[in-house]
Every structure is written in structure tokens, then in C-alpha cells.
Amino acid sequence: MTTLVEQPLHKNTTNLKFNQKFFPQEFFYSQEFSITNTTKQFQSHQILPEQSLSDQGKITLCLDLDETLISSTMTPRCDYDFSFKLQPTEEGGKCEEYFVKKRPNVDYFLRRCSEMFEVVIFTASLKQYADKILDELDPSGDYISHRLYRESCSYFCGSFVKDLSLLNRDLNSILIVDDLPASFQFHPENGLQIPRFDYHLKKKKLNVNFLDSCLADILQILEKIFIQHDVISILSQYN
């Protein structure tokens, strides 16, 4: 069966690199790289068009979707922000319903990011799943300039990797925010790891209203990158 949602193949709770000044320990989540799986499926073409006139000269900000901007589950819940159904992709398959919780501050975050950057959603999820969510987050298409899905990822060592060298942009002007460092393992100097937003898990574990300020915290770093128009040296202070 095809998995529509981005899923890491290996999980552990060991943080590979993350700045503890900004985020509490319980958010840490990372991926253990497999060194035995050498399967590779690389993309070989440029996957973005030239920047539009309104984005010209802006730094390109790639944002992950699942566990970065939202948390989704197929388990019915009462406190979700929206839900949607997907028709089966295979003959005899069942219709699937997803319940989505938006990460706190995500609406403001996307709006502010779109004012500063060329915003690209770069997800390892499949288009039919991701578009349902992105249409809710950006209904008028004002905030997101491009959407990239799983087929734009390279498969390497058990992970879907977002190869920034294929974006048709100057690598010094690309920034990626993702909860999985494996996603940007080809360009770690361009990546900012954000703690995983798993609303369902955290709420159950903490048994309190789960307050998450990560997007607001990250925005402070993004504002600095925007003002100084510098990705690599500013990120080096946080990674």
C-alpha cells in the first residue's frame, strides 16, 4: 500500500544537532541514518522555474510540512482544526480520513515568511495528501510560491532527501526548515532543524494543553537572515 504521509524509516530520540537554547529537550527527535541501505534514487533535473517577479532577489525558504507546520493523524479526534478524506489510490482500497492540527502560530508564520522570502513547501508526502493541507493553510495562494512533493525528493540511505542543488537557485540563498535532519543531509549548512510537532503524542504524554512556540522562535532567526540577507553564516551560529 502506498504511504501518503512522510514517514521516517528509522527513529530514535537522540538529537544529532539542535540548539538547546531555543527548544526544550522533550521536542528532540531525529533520524538514525542507515549505512547499510545504499539504495539511491537521485533526481537529475532542476525542479523549480525561475523566480517570479514578486520573488526576485529573495532568499528561498523551503518549509517541510508534516510535523513542521502541522500534525495529522488518521485516529478520529475532537480537537482537530480540519479534516479531509482521500479516495483510495488502489483498487479495493479504503477511503482514508485525516485529522489535522495546525502548529501554533502557523498562519502568522506563513504570512510573515511570505513577506520576507520566496516560500517553497518541500514535503516528502504525496501530492494528493499534501495539497489538501496546503489548500487549507494557504487558501488564496498568497503565501506559498511553489509546492514540491515526494517525487522531487531523492531517495538515499533510507531517507527522502531534499536536494537543494536541484532548486535552480543560488545555494547561498536557500534555507530549509525541517524536523528531520536527514531531509537536508546533502546541505546541512542550509538547514535549520525544528523540533517535531506531534500534537497527538505530546498531548497524551503531558496531559495538558500542549503549548508550542517553535514557529515563533524560529521566526526570530528567519528575521535575522532576512535583514542580513545571509543564510549560511547566520545558521552556523545555531547549528
Which residue, 100 or 226, has its beta carbon nearer to Mg ion? 100
**How many Å is the Cα radius of gyration of the chain?**
17
**By the rule CB under 5 A, 198 interacts with Mg ion:** no
Which residue, 68 or 185, has its beta carbon nearer to Mg ion? 68
Q: Which residues are catalytic?
A: 64, 66
Q: Binding marks (x or -) toward Mg ion, 173..192, rule CB under 5 A?
A: ------x-------------
Pick the binder of Mg ion from 58, 67, 71, 222 (CB under 5 A).
Answer: 67
Which residue, 58 or 185, has its beta carbon nearer to Mg ion? 185
Give CA–CA dist 207/210, Å, rounded.
8
Least distance in Å: CB of 125 to Mg ion? 8
Pick the binder of Mg ion from 29, 58, 62, 66 (CB under 5 A).
Answer: 66
**By the rule CB under 5 A, 163 interacts with Mg ion:** no
Per CB under 5 A, which of residues 68..87 are in contact with Mg ion?
Answer: 68
**By the rule CB under 5 A, 64 interacts with Mg ion:** yes
Least distance in Å: CB of 4 to Mg ion? 14
Which residue, 67 or 118, has its beta carbon nearer to Mg ion? 67
Checking DSSP bridges between strand 191-193 and strand 40-41, what pairing results, if any? unpaired
| Interface positions with Mg ion (CB under 5 A) | 64, 66-68, 179
